[in-house]
Structure 1
Amino acid sequence: MKSNCINCKFYKVKDALTGYCRVLIKETGDKKAEQPMVRDHGSCPKWIDCGQQYHIRLGWIKAFNRKQL
């Protein structure tokens, strides 16, 4: 599995191509910490595999794309 944002534990989906990185929130415990916008194919050194959540995200994105058409 590639270590990109869409299959990272800290990624939160916004739409089909972008989302938010929540790594600072998890590290500091501060819910108001910065949530930088990232692309689904980006990556960083703090990447952690999200396991089954990856397939759930793909299903959500497919449904979102069908709804947009």
Structure 2
Amino acid sequence: MSKKLDMILAKDEAGEFRLWACRGEGKGCDRNKYRRSKSPCVDCVGPLDENLTLGEVMDQLNRGDA
């Protein structure tokens, strides 16, 4: 069974658009469950390094490194 990777594109403190990876339901993030315009919360991982692949992000989430 493969997990779903939810990505959130939002501005950081400097006003630049960056990507966050949402850990998803069950990891403490209910904030974005019903929102149309999602925003990162304390349980989201990011902003992500621009050089990471989606596979590397999934590996980090699965290992619990993030």
Structure 2 length-normalised TM: 0.23
More helix by share: 1
> Could you tell me the TM-score, scaled by structure 1's length?
0.23
Query: Per chain length, whose mean CA-contact separation is higher, i.e. which structure has more relative contact order (CA < 8 Å, sep 6+)?
Result: 1
User: Which is greater in Rg?
Assistant: 1
